[in-house]
Each structure stands twice: as structure tokens, then as C-alpha cells.
Homo-oligomer: A and B are copies of this chain.
Amino acid sequence: MIDKQVKAAEDAVADIPDGATIMIGGFGSSGIPLQLIEALRCHGASDLTVISNNAGVAEEGIASLLRDGLVKKIVCSFPRSAGSIWFEKRFEEGSVELELVPQGTLSERIRIAGAGIGGFLTPTGYGTRLAEGKETRIIDGKGYVLEMPLHADFALVRAEYADPWGNLTYNTAGRNFNPMMAAAAKTTIAEVGAVVDIGELHPEHVITPGIFVDRVVAEEKCDVAA
């Protein structure tokens, strides 16, 4: 029987190598796979390229990867938020490279990677600094920028419920980047609030079909001493 469950977050991320490109779901405090990120930090893979909407705040999530010096490059729409101290520090000292991408271009570049599309023309950013060096064209008098897919080796996503086939549902706006990222990575690891039996997720309500998910890890409900 197909069962994509992995018991521990540390086992789910154990094969992530140095230099990997990793997508991490979430927007602000919403829909972030915090336990997978913590397992990745403990695992210690370095020289990572991280693709995510934000760069983490305080000591949590992506901020902890930046603090520990594990991130070489970040592809991001909004890295600077109140409290994004570790991103700011690493950026100022020049130890992390930033590729700044408008948010809708970021989500669509991720989506097309999952959907096997080789590029798309967007009006977003046309005539701005973020289109510099990119191919552009005018169609019916409107300017467009050619944007290319963003693929990843691994995606770490956060969902509310999974079943053993890896079908996922989300919690409210926690959906954000998670469904596109699940489809865009070679290996997708989902941290979920709970795993339910096959057939318990209504087939009309599944947001991420299990075909996009390789490993499912149920959230640890209580803190475990390290």
C-alpha cells in the first residue's frame, strides 16, 4: 500500500545535500513548515539556495538558517520585514546573495516549473529595475517581461491534513505558496497538522493532489527536549 508517512522530521530531511535548492512555503507567520526547517537546520546542510516569499523574522524559520550561515542565496519577494534581523545582517555583510522577484512573478515562476512550462510573459516589472537584463516584448501596445521557471531539489511545505497518499488540505491563508512549491520540486516533504485515513479527505476538497508529495511528516504536538 502507498504510504508516504515518515515518522520524524529529521529522517524526512536527512538526504538534503549541501548546495541544494530548497523551496520553503509560507507567507509571514502563515503556513510555514517550522518543524521541517528546524530539522534542516539541525541536519546542517549548507550553501543552500532558499526560495521563499519572506526571509524569516527573529530567530525562527528561515531566519535561523541565515543565522547559522547555511544560506548562500535567497530568492524572495519580501525579505525585509519588521524583525528580519538575520537577513539584514547577512545581506549587509555580503554573505548572502539576494534575487528579488515580484511576488506574483515568484508564485508563477514556481507554478510553471511544476507544470512543465518553459517561460511566461508578464506585464509585472516591465520598465522597472527588476526587468533589467531580461528579454522583453510589446504585445498590443503593452510591455511584457519573459520570466523563467524556478525549480527546486526539495520543497518543504506546511499543510493542515494529509492522507497516506500525500493528498493535502490547508488552513485558511496558510495555503499561499505551498501548493505551487509542492509541484515544483523533485522531492516534496509536507509537514502537516495531522494525518487522516485514506478516503477521509473529500475528493473535491483536496488542494494538493498526492502525486506532488513524496513524504508526509505529522507535526510534533509537544516540545521534545533535544
Interface residues of A (CB under 8 A from B): 108, 112, 115-123, 137, 139, 142, 144, 169-170, 172, 202-205, 207
A-B contact pairs, 27 of them (CB 8 A): A108-B115, A108-B117, A112-B120, A116-B122, A116-B123, A117-B121, A117-B122, A118-B121, A118-B122, A118-B123, A118-B137, A118-B139, A118-B142, A118-B144, A119-B121, A119-B139, A119-B144, A120-B120, A120-B121, A169-B204, A170-B204, A172-B203, A172-B204, A202-B205, A204-B205, A204-B207, A205-B205
Across-interface contacts of A122 in B (CB, < 8 A): 116-118
Q: Check B117–A120 contact: CB distance below 8 A.
A: yes
A121 to B144 CA separation, bound complex (whole angstroms):
14
Chain B contacts of A120 at CB under 8 A?
112, 117-121
Within 8 Å CB of A112, what residues of B?
120
A203 surroundings in chain B (CB, below 8 A): 172
**Apart from A112-B120, A118-B123, 14 more pairs, CB < 8 Å:** A108-B115, A108-B117, A116-B123, A117-B120, A117-B122, A118-B120, A118-B121, A118-B144, A119-B120, A119-B139, A120-B121, A169-B204, A170-B204, A204-B205
Report the minimal beta-carbon distance from A73 to chain B, rounded to whole angstroms. Answer: 20
